[in-house]
Amino acid sequence: MALLLCFVLLCGVVDFARSLSITTPEEMIEKAKGETAYLPCKFTLSPEDQGPLDIEWLISPADNQKVDQVIILYSGDKIYDDYYPDLKGRVHFTSNDLKSGDASINVTNLQLSDIGTYQCKVKKAPGVANKKIHLVVLGARCYVDGSEEIGSDFKIKCEPKEGSLPLQYEWQKLSDSQKMPTSWLAEMTSSVISVKNASSEYSGTYSCTVRNRVGSDQCLLRLNVVPPSNKAGLIAGAIIGTLLALALIGLIIFCCRKKRREEKYEKEVHHDIREDVPPPKSRTSTARSYIGSNHSSLGSMSPSNMEGYSKTQYNQVPSEDFERTPQSPTLPPAKVAAPNLSRMGAIPVMIPAQSKDGSIV
């Protein structure tokens, strides 16, 4: 029984050893920016692996904000290398015959964005295997920490993006006299240079070179030390400008409101004139009707009823319907004689005459 169990276990180990496997161990590869990184992935197949061969490389970016992305794929005897835009044209298989067991790739012109974990997956049914490789790209970044003003204190820094220790730094001045300030000499091989009481002489272009055992990288820094800004003047100018803008806006609003009030008032007055005041009556027609009524009254008078009409009642004509107009100096008024009432036994009375322009004389 024990012998049979050992035989079964031995057969399982043999079958396991003969299944698809990747012989390349997991490792970390360090390269400098701009170089080419070789990512190995060698595998072996077993006789039982009879399915089609599929090879897939994926990347997990270092920022962990993106999901795994396919960067190159071999399937159906064809290569597809346009899946990942950041590496398009920079990733290739190193072998022309992938069925020989070599799925290694090269990543050319390394950039800082290439940093991440790469995974090689090989599948030939029923066998499947995968391995991971960590890629580190050495890169440096230069910047100023502080205000670049005369008399101020600030720091210029050179920091690597990635890279294994030990790291070495070297600062150089590339412009003007190409001589570093004397106070900086003690920090020429440091990642940070402290600047005290800055002067305009410090202005210029500087370079920082970072090195480790796998390579080097360089960054440039433009330093421009300027006179201190008049912050009080800037603040006062901003306040005055804001107040002027508010005053202008208020003036515009006031003028608009005033104009609207005037237009509204004119419309109301015009409306009252048209609806409340009736049109004036014709003076000529009023005067003629009045004279006609007097003639008719006089014609029917008798000596008995003329006593109350010894004086003409001119005040009975309404002032709004009848107005006396000044006599024309060139046209003397025509006098109209009173009718002969002697036959009727009545007292003669003067009747107002009417001039050509319609006025009563």
- SS3 for 69? strand
Assess whether the previous peptide bond of 166 is cis (omega < 30° from 0): yes
Least trusted range by pLDDT, from 8-12, 240-244, 264-268: 8-12
**Tens-digit pLDDT profile for residues 308-361:** 444 444 444 444 444 454 444 454 554 444 454 444 444 454 555 555 555 555
Higher model confidence: residue 42 or residue 83? 42
Q: What is the pLDDT of residue 192?
A: 92
Query: How sure is the predictor about 296, in pLDDT bands with cuts at 50, 70 and 90?
Result: very low
CA gyration radius, the chain: 57
Q: What is the pLDDT of residue 359?
A: 52
What's at 24, amino acid-wise? T
Rounded average pLDDT over 158-166: 74
Please name which of 136, 156, 140 lies closest in space to residue 148, comparing C-alpha atoms: 156
Least trusted range by pLDDT, from 76-85, 223-232, 285-294: 285-294
CA distance 57 to 205: 42
Q: How far is CA 208 from CA 155, 169, 182, in A?
A: 14, 7, 17
CA distance 322 to 281: 9
Calculate the CA 83 to chain-centre distance: 33
Query: How sure is the predictor about 259, in pLDDT bands with cuts at 50, 70 and 90?
Result: confident
Rounded average pLDDT over 111-126: 90
**Tens-digit pLDDT profile for residues 65-97:** 668 899 999 998 999 998 888 898 999 999 999
Does the global pTM surpass 0.75?
Answer: no
Sequence-distant (6+) residues with CB within 8 A of 349 are 298, 306, 309, 310, 312, 338, 341
Task: Determine contact, residues 332/298, Cβ cutoff 8 Å.
Answer: no
Rounded average pLDDT over 111-139: 90
pLDDT at 109 over 90: yes
- For 321, list phi and psi in degrees, rounded to 5: -100, -15
User: What percent of the chain is predicted at pLDDT more than 90?
Assistant: 22
Task: Determine contact, residues 341/348, Cβ cutoff 8 Å.
Answer: yes
Q: What is the pLDDT of residue 20?
A: 87
pLDDT at 275 over 70: no
